[in-house]
Amino acid sequence: MARRGERADVSRLRNLSLFLVLAAVWGSAFVAIKAGLAYVPPVLFAALRYDVAGVVMLAYAAYAVDDPIPRGRDAWLEVLSGAVFIIAAYHSFLFVGETDPAVTSAVAAVIVSLSPLLTTVFARAFLPAERLTAIGALGLAIGLVGAVVLANPDPANLTGGGTGAKLLVLLAAASFALGSVLSRASEADISIETMEAWSMLLGAGLTHVVSLALGESIAGAVWTTESLLALGYLSVVASGIGFLIYFDLLDRLGPIEINLVSYVAPVFAAVVGWLVLDEGITATTVAGFLIICVGFALVKRAAIREELRAAGLVR
C-alpha cells in the first residue's frame, strides 16, 4: 500500500510539474510574440511560426500514430476547420493585436483566457447536448465583464488606448473557441496529433495568403539574434514541445483540468514580460483577470467539483 501511495504522489508531482511547465511555456510565448513583432511583419511572423511547427508536429505524428495522413472527407473537414480558425484566424488576429504597445503580453494572455468561456457560447449553437444553466449564463456574463474591464475603453475614443487592438485579440480568442467547438462536433476518426499537424501546415499556408493580401513581404523582416530566437522559441518550444506536453496531460488529467492552463499562463506572461520587455502590470489587467476567473469557475463549476472529488479534495 505504501508503494502504491508513493507512486501516486510521484505521478501527481509529475503532472503538476508538467502543468506548470506548460503554463510557463505558453505564457512566455506571448512575450516571444511581442519581441519578434519588433522585427517581422505580424501575419508573416505567424505564418513562419507554423511553417516550422507544422513540420515538427508532422514528424511527431509520424512517430506516434499508425497513420499520420487524414483519411476521408470528415477528417479533412476537421483539419480545415482547425487550419482556418485555430491556426490562421487566431494567430493573425493575435499577432496584429499585439503590435499595439497598449496590448502587453499579460493583457493578450488574459484576453485569450476567455477562450473556454467563449467555447460555451459556440457550443450552444453547434453542440445541442451542451447546456448552459442560469448560473452558467451568469458566469459567462461575468467573464465578458472582465474582458470589458481589461479593455478599459474610453467612451470618447473607442478606437484609442489600444481598444481596437484588444478587440482583435478578443476576435482571436473567439476564433480559437469556434475552431475547438467545430473540432468537437466532428465525427471524424482522426488522431489529435494528425489533426494538429495538418491543421498547422494548412493553416500556415492560409496565413501566408493573408500576409500577401496585406502587402507584407519577407523583405520587411529584419533577422537578428532576437528575432530568430523568438521564432525558434514559438515554433519549437511553444508549439512543438508545448503541444507534446499538452497531449500527455490531456490523457492524464482530462480536458477540464488542462483548460486551467489558460488561467495560469497570464501569470507567467506578466512576469516574463516584466523581466524581459520591461512591461508594466496595471490594476485593470489584474482586475479583469480575476473577474474572468470568477466567470470561468461559475460556468465550469460542476466539472471542477467533479475533478476535485476525483482528486479526493472534496466529498
What is the model's pTM? 0.80
Q: Burial, 248: exposed, middle or buried (Cβ in 10 Å; 0-12, 13-18, 19+)?
A: middle
State the average pLDDT over residues 202-221.
Answer: 95
Between the two ends of the chain, the Cα-to-Cα distance in Å is 22
pLDDT band at 158 (very low <50, low <70, confident <90, very high): very low
Q: Which of 96, 79, 93 is nearest to 202 (CA)?
A: 79
> Is the pLDDT score of 160 beyond 60?
no
Confidence band of 110 (pLDDT split at 50, 70, 90): confident
For residues 89-109, give the mean pLDDT. 90
* H or E element in which residue 148 lies: helix 134-151
Type and span of the H or E element at 60: helix 42-64
Residue 222 has pLDDT above 80, yes or no: yes
Q: Over the stretch 236-251, which tens digit does the pLDDT of each residue have?
A: 999 888 878 887 776 6
Please write the tens of the pLDDT for every residue from 164-196.
888 899 999 889 888 877 776 666 778 888 888
Closest CA to 64 of 253, 202, 251, 234: 251
Would you state the cell numbers that stand for residue 185, as one nine-digit string?
A: 462536433
Q: Are 37 and 99 in contact (CB under 8 A)?
A: yes
